[in-house]
Chain A
């Protein structure tokens, strides 16, 4: 098109980023900061990714507190603002609260979309919208380029490609008669279910979001899957059904019109009165039947990787997530990286069954900054930006990190602030990196600090000291209600650091 004003026409770029959701926008912001030339392509018409459509009932699960312990732009604000993207520039920080109307501290979907649009505009993030990635091939012509992406607008050659395409393709279970059900993604407004009998397959957040939204409308609601659901206020983590959606539990326990059953679905079949769902109870194998007007698969989504598996990208799990290195590169195809919610595929240590928060904006936004830096250093020759720390200042510096860092707070037990011994004297502060990269990557003696939680409600710093190739672990006292570290932490930290000087 002669009058096409969109950026990034087909051609050759060092990096191509696919996707304009939070992951793609955040990564592009940091690549721009590092002055790394890249093209961003998106099949959508505007920024926002999944938030252009979901959550289905138009209210997020992640909060932003407009009145935080400290003001917008501070690190203590970031701890309680789960939805703003990150920026060094003050005018780009903490944007979400500016777009909320005060009726809830969970932004509406529209408020989240406005937040992301505002960030993209203010940060000047260029995206070629309306450009759909269609297929991928390797380049093997002796040039630096490794891939060619065929899109609806033409071909893009690149050395590095980063897919930030979400986990957004509906997945339906292999159940006889599943064609009579519809997926969560196809559910309409809850009032459309007035007076109807609804059967929901799946007992995770999407299932309970449906049940919560339909409580005032549906005649009966049945939720079923083989395993009992977990609840976040019981696991004391983001594992399980979130507090927003627990009302169906009370309704079920006290005898309302909602039933929560542990059962394997055997069949869905039309009957004279609707859809007859046959299921076998987990506990005793008893066969039961429920007749419903609507059967909904709240069975999750898979990653829309198109032809990447054929290119050699290994995937795993029901979500078909790509297997990745600690630095979010495909474990099987070098040069293909991932950003955004797909980074949830990297589990970290997974202590106490608590995964990283990489599936949500509150966690993935930190991964993006680290990924940009990693690509700059490993692929484009940037010299790591380190800061010298004297031996005398090391404990105080780490204590400040434990006290302030929102990255460690939100990515507990996953991201760590690392410091390594300098060849001269003292230490070099390397900043935040994946903890497993520090533990398994080898290198100089050093220390990595995390914030961690064990599912009891306690949150505490942990120090990992790497000495002559092997690591030791030192848990510091939990932080109290005020979330500040204390002189007691300082003493424990200095004791842990003694290992380095032995």
Chain B
């Protein structure tokens, strides 16, 4: 299991968080929940409401539209922000392609979160 310090160190490598100080990164982690997905789990569902901002800590995800893989996401990448900001359902399934660990920010906090970290 990734400890809190390890998660902070991992997120510090995301370009999105490059300008944040240590306490700010700790605050970021405090707002996120850790999630774990088995291989094959659907994380986001095309066309169904309910989303969030996901940061991939470990593992890999497939981006599938109508069952066809369009892209892959891995450690250091994030997804879900577009549907949250547009207020519309995800346009693709996101499926774990391996045991995958993410940090998740629920939809209601995403806009303020992105605004705050951009300072």
Contact = CB atoms under 8 A, between A and B. Distances in A.
Nearest to A285: B21
Nearest to B4: A318
B99 A314 contact: yes
B107 A353 contact: yes
Interface in B40-64: 41-42, 45, 47-50, 52
Given A174-B4, A455-B108, A352 B50 contact: yes
B47 A472 contact: yes
A470 B111 CA distance: 30
Nearest to B32: A227
Interface stretch (A68-76, A119-127, A343-351, A390-398): A343-351
Contact of B23 (A235, A280, A325, A353): A280
B38 A353 contact: no
Given A353-B52, A440-B42, A264 B107 contact: no
A25 interface: no
Nearest to B99: A314
Contact of B49 (A436, A470, A473): A473
B34 A282 contact: no
A149 B62 CA distance: 39
B47 A226 contact: no
B5 interface: yes
Give the interface size class of chain B: 35 or more
B27 A226 contact: yes
Contacts of B42: 436, 439-440
Give the size range of A's interface with the partner. 35 or more
A173 B48 contact: no
A352 B83 CA distance: 12
Nearest to B106: A353
B88 interface: no
B14 interface: no
A318 B26 contact: no
Given A314-B99, A350-B106, A227 B31 contact: yes
Interface in B82-103: 89, 99, 101
A411 interface: no
Nearest to A229: B30
Given A174-B3, A350-B52, A282 B27 contact: yes
A20 interface: no
Contacts of A173: 4
B38 A331 contact: yes
Interface of B: 1-5, 21-24, 26-27, 29-31, 33-36, 38, 41-42, 45, 47-50, 52, 89, 99, 101, 104, 106-109
Interface of A: 173-174, 225-227, 235, 262-264, 280-282, 285, 309, 314-318, 320, 323, 325, 331-332, 347, 349-354, 413, 436, 439-440, 455, 464, 470-473
21 contacts: A174-B3, A174-B4, A174-B5, A226-B27, A226-B29, A235-B108, A262-B27, A285-B21, A315-B36, A316-B36, A316-B101, A323-B38, A332-B38, A347-B35, A350-B52, A350-B104, A352-B108, A353-B109, A464-B48, A471-B47, A473-B48
